[in-house]
């Protein structure tokens, strides 16, 4: 087990470049299984989740080559055997191989997916959409079995009962290999879905409605290879901005492609009395003393998450920690995952003034003087939030189970050190 050792307090200064969008590249690897030609992906982050997805692709018989941030995948010798249980259970997106494999080869056998412990995440939307496409599913036992023996020729029109990101990605990929029109209503609209659609279009599919809640896919009997560059990860960028907000200082975040991905995030920072400047390819921000701006009538403001373009759930943990260093009170309302804010117990032990109302709500009052402690990361985003807390705290903190954080952040110790955080990696 790895542990991150942080000596605080720190003050942030410098620039950092974000890696490719984790939540975009993972389904892109699964999409590469839908053609026997090469799929070349650039700006692929070196993180554990990506390496596990590439291991699954290799287990299926695909040729996988990586040179720095470029990955070349060729699935011309695809096998349809059972995927390894150990890898499937290590990440949520292992399920995304099911639809592409069933659509291309007629069958897929996968073990149930794993991932972060942030609360139950339903698979119903995945199964509903795949069945609507004509894929049969046996999921009453393990491993799960998917088969596709016939393809309907009429338009497939479906309505998801939740705007699930991974289900939208999954159905969109599989539909790209069905030669008919598929309409997904109440689809998720996150930036990484539009990025995945961009790759599928290069592979030959016709897709319209990206960044809206209605996607229309006209699939093809055969897709071809493509070359695609993964855009910068907006969650990673926002995490570094939260670090600067909490610890204070100046930061420049590079690798920014689409400024519109940061509009809602900027609105939340404005509630803390901070503003960052969106420029071509980068974000700059100066953070001094934060003060939470009350709502009309001097009411305590609420920061809540929701489906895009609302505030991302993946940013709640880091912003909760940032709020501990701001003057005033704020209520965080985590609507999407009931275990997301369980990590707050750790920052309370560090000295944060927090009241956990229920599994979905916490009130933070600040500023608080934090002290270093030893803690363990329960999920990717909570782990990053703990690092931010440690950078603000007086003394030495240890964040154990650091492998979880490395599932989502590339070269994290090096990037943090370049910003002025005193951090080292130790093996327990």
Cα angle at 353 between 348 and 354, to 5 degrees?
70
CATH number at residue 168: 3.65.10.10
pLDDT at 152: 61
pLDDT at 117: 42
Q: Encoding tokens for residue 391?
A: 């950078």
pLDDT at 150: 62
113 is in which domain, residue-wise? 22-229
String of DSSP letters for 357-425: EETTEEEEEE----B--EEE-SSHHHHHHHHHHHHHSBEEEEEE-THHHHTT-TTHHHHHHHTT-EEEE
DSSP-derived 3-state class of residue 89: coil
Question: How far apart, in whole angstroms, are the C-alpha atoms of residue 208 and residue 215?
Answer: 6
Using an 8 Å Cβ cutoff, are 187 and 168 in contact?
yes
pLDDT at 192: 94
Are residue 15 and residue 26 in the same domain, yes or no? no
Are residue 211 and residue 298 in the same domain, yes or no? no
Nearest C-alpha neighbor of 29 from the set 61, 71, 68, 66: 71
Using the 3D structure, point to which of 197, 229, 261 is the last residue of a domain: 229
Are residue 120 and residue 251 in the same domain, yes or no? no
Q: Tell me if residue 116 is catalytic.
A: yes
String of DSSP letters for 25-82: HHHHHHHGGG-SSEEEEES----HHHHHHHHHHHHTT-EEEEETTEEEEE-TT---SP
Are residue 200 and residue 290 in the same domain, yes or no? no
pLDDT tens per residue across span 25-35: 999 999 999 99
pLDDT at 153: 65
Catalytic residue among 116, 233, 305, 314: 116
Are residue 71 and residue 94 in the same domain, yes or no? yes
pLDDT at 114: 72
Are residue 271 and residue 404 in the same domain, yes or no? yes
> Which strands make up the sheet holding 395-400, listed edge to edge?
374-376, 395-400, 2-8, 422-427
Question: How far apart, in whole angstroms, are the C-alpha atoms of residue 97 and residue 31?
Answer: 8
Are residue 355 and residue 322 in the same domain, yes or no? yes
Domain count, the chain: 2
Using the 3D structure, point to which of 229, 252, 270 is the last residue of a domain: 229
pTM for this prediction: 0.94
Instruction: Tell me the mean pLDDT in the region 361-386.
Output: 96
Using the 3D structure, point to which of 191, 213, 229 is the last residue of a domain: 229
Are residue 250 and residue 150 in the same domain, yes or no? no
Are residue 265 and residue 411 in the same domain, yes or no? yes
pLDDT at 6: 98
Instruction: Tell me the mean pLDDT in the region 40-48.
Output: 96
For residue 357, pLDDT over 70 is answered with yes
Are residue 95 and residue 156 in the same domain, yes or no? yes
Question: What value does the mean pLDDT of the chain take?
Answer: 93
Are residue 44 and residue 82 in the same domain, yes or no? yes
Using an 8 Å Cβ cutoff, are 80 and 105 in contact?
yes
Question: How far apart, in whole angstroms, are the C-alpha atoms of residue 65 and residue 29?
Answer: 12
Minimum mean pLDDT among 51-55, 141-145, 367-371: which range?
141-145
pLDDT tens per residue across span 204-249: 999 999 999 999 999 999 999 999 999 999 999 999 999 999 999 9
pLDDT tens per residue across span 290-324: 999 999 999 999 999 999 999 999 999 999 999 99
Determine how many CB atoms are found less than 10 A away from the CB of residue 149.
10
pLDDT at 131: 94
Are residue 191 and residue 280 in the same domain, yes or no? no
How remote is the C-alpha of 354 from its chain's centroid? 26
For residue 338, pLDDT over 80 is answered with no
pLDDT tens per residue across span 117-161: 444 457 899 999 999 999 999 988 888 999 987 666 678 999 999
Express as a percent the part of the chain with pLDDT over 70.
Answer: 97
Minimum mean pLDDT among 104-113, 224-233, 278-287, 341-350: which range?
104-113
For residue 83, pLDDT over 90 is answered with no
């Amino acid at each position: 087990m790895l542990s991150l050792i942080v000596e605080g307090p720190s003050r942030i200064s410098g620039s950092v470049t974000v890696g490719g969008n984790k939540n975009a590249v993972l389904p892109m690897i699964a999409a590469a299984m839908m053609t026997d030609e090469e799929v070349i992906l650039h700006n692929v982050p070196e993180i554990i989740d990506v390496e596990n997805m590439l291991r699954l692709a290799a287990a299926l018989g695909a040729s996988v080559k990586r040179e720095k941030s470029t990955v070349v995948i060729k699935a011309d010798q695809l096998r349809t055997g059972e995927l390894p249980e150990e890898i499937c259970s290590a990440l949520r997106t292992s399920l995304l191989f099911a639809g592409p494999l069933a659509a291309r080869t007629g069958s897929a056998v996968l073990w149930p997916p794993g991932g972060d412990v942030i609360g139950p995440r339903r698979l119903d939307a995945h199964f509903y959409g795949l069945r609507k496409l004509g894929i049969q599913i046996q999921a009453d036992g393990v491993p799960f079995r998917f088969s596709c023996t016939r393809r309907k020729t009429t338009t497939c029109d479906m309505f998801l009962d939740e705007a699930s990101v991974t289900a939208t990605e999954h159905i969109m990929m599989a539909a790209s290999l069905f030669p008919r029109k598929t309409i997904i209503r109440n689809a998720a609209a996150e930036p990484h879905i539009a990025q995945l659609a961009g790759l599928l279009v290069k592979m030959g599919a016709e897709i319209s409605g990206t960044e809206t809640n209605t996607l229309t896919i006209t699939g093809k009997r055969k897709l071809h290879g493509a070359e695609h560059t993964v855009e910068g990860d907006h969650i990673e960028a926002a995490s570094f901005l939260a670090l600067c907000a909490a610890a204070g200082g100046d930061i420049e975040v590079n690798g920014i492609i689409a400024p519109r991905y940061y509009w809602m995030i900027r609105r939340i920072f404005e509630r803390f009395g901070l503003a960052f400047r969106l420029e071509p390819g980068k974000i700059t921000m100066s953070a001094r003393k934060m003060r939470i701006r009350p709502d009309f009538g001097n009411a305590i403001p609420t920061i809540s998450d929701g489906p895009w373009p609302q505030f991302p759930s993946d940013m709640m943990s880091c912003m909760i920690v940032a709020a501990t260093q701001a003057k005033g009170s704020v209520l965080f309302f985590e609507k999407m995952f009931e275990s997301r804010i369980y990590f707050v117990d750790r920052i309370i032990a560090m000295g944060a003034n927090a009241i956990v109302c229920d599994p979905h709500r916490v009130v933070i009052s600040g500023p608080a003087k934090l002290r270093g402690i030893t803690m363990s990361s329960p999920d990717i985003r909570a782990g990053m939030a703990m690092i931010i807390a440690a950078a603000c705290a007086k003394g030495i903190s240890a964040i154990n189970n650091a492998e979880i954080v490395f599932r989502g952040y590339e070269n994290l110790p090096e990037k943090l050190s370049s910003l002025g955080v005193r951090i080292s990696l130790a093996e327990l």
